[in-house]
Structure 1
Amino acid sequence: MFDKYILVDGSLRETADGFAFDAMLGYYRGLGLSMIEDLVVSIDGDPVSRDAISFDEGKGPIALDDMEQAYDRRWPFGNKATIAVKRPEALGAGDHRLSLKEVLRISYLPFPLVAEDSKMLTLAPMAAA
């Protein structure tokens, strides 16, 4: 339903230990983090290991495995969250194909809701120190 709005244009950026980007929830209501079963990321066709991904809806980064117990945290509809990926090599400036799949547990659905987006995002060169 809201799949084309999941990845936020212009949000791809380098971090000290990898890269990060902003995303929005692909569901029309907010969800508790414990109801997000998985976030699957790939960059330029290469899948990212689940343990290299962290999520931050504004209350600080949390590992995907720890989200299952995060009963006091919520991702409101329409709010951006930061997804960070640790990787040993720099991503490099330029265009990159980023894909995100959100696997969501919805209380009234007997199956997980899967929302996906894939876009070409541009990583700006890092500023000189």
Structure 2
Amino acid sequence: MGFSMRINFVDVICDDSLRNSYINGLKNGYEFDIRLSYYRGLFLSCVNSFALTVDGEEVPNSEVTFSINGKEFFVDQLSSLSSEFWKLLEPAKIKVLKKGGLPKGSHNLKLDFYLRVPYLPLPGGDSDHNYVPLDSCGEKELIIEEIGGE
């Protein structure tokens, strides 16, 4: 990809959103929120690529889910979800399945996340399906603080 548009209205990875997730009192992973760094909402089918790296370790997409509108999807499903609309102001929850979750402390989250703008054809594109890519990548240090009985 030789060209992509980047509009930084907000940080993609939301501050203070990293926490471990539990099932039946056992840590089964962790979760955090992301925002759409664009000036309008988009359908989930506009997701071109999603890759998450946590503390330098790439997380397989098969272990990551994306939740909006009260629904949860595996990341690899997103490109086929043409009727699920991600509203501009609604954060999406990213959940990662990882036995034991993450330890207390600071963690580096890096998200390589590209969308396509469905109403902006790529100039000089050789196909009817080439649209301007939107760079929504982000990287941030977030802290997990174990509270109470967690």
Match of 2:57 among 27, 35, 46: 46
How many residue pairs end up in the alignment?
129
Instruction: Give matches, 1:61-76, under 5 Å.
Output: 61-76=72-87
Q: Give TM-score, length-normalised by structure 2.
A: 0.78
Q: Which amino acid aligns with 2:137?
A: E
Question: Could you tell me how far apart the structure 2 residues matched to 1:101 and 1:59 are?
Answer: 24
| CA spacing shift, 1:25–1:109, aligned 2, 3 Å | farther
Greater Rg over alpha carbons, structure = 2
Q: Give TM-score, length-normalised by structure 1.
A: 0.89
Q: Secondary structure at the match of 1:99?
A: strand
Q: CA RMSD in A?
A: 1.7
Matched, 1:90 2:96: no
Between the two structures, name the one with larger relative contact order (CA 8 Å, sep ≥ 6): 1
Would you identify which runs of 4 or more consecutive aligned residues in structure 1 move more than 4 Å? none
Check conservation: 2:10, 2:35, Cα contact below 8 A: no
Cα displacement string for residues 68-93 of structure 1 (whole angstroms, at most 9, x for unaligned residues): 22222111112211011112343111
Larger proportion of strand: 2
* Percent of aligned pairs sharing the same letter: 27
Name stretches of at least 5 consecutive residues in structure 2 with no aligned partner.
1-6, 23-27, 123-131
Question: Could you tell me how far apart the structure 2 residues matched to 1:92 and 1:3 are?
Answer: 31
Q: Secondary structure at the match of 1:68?
A: helix
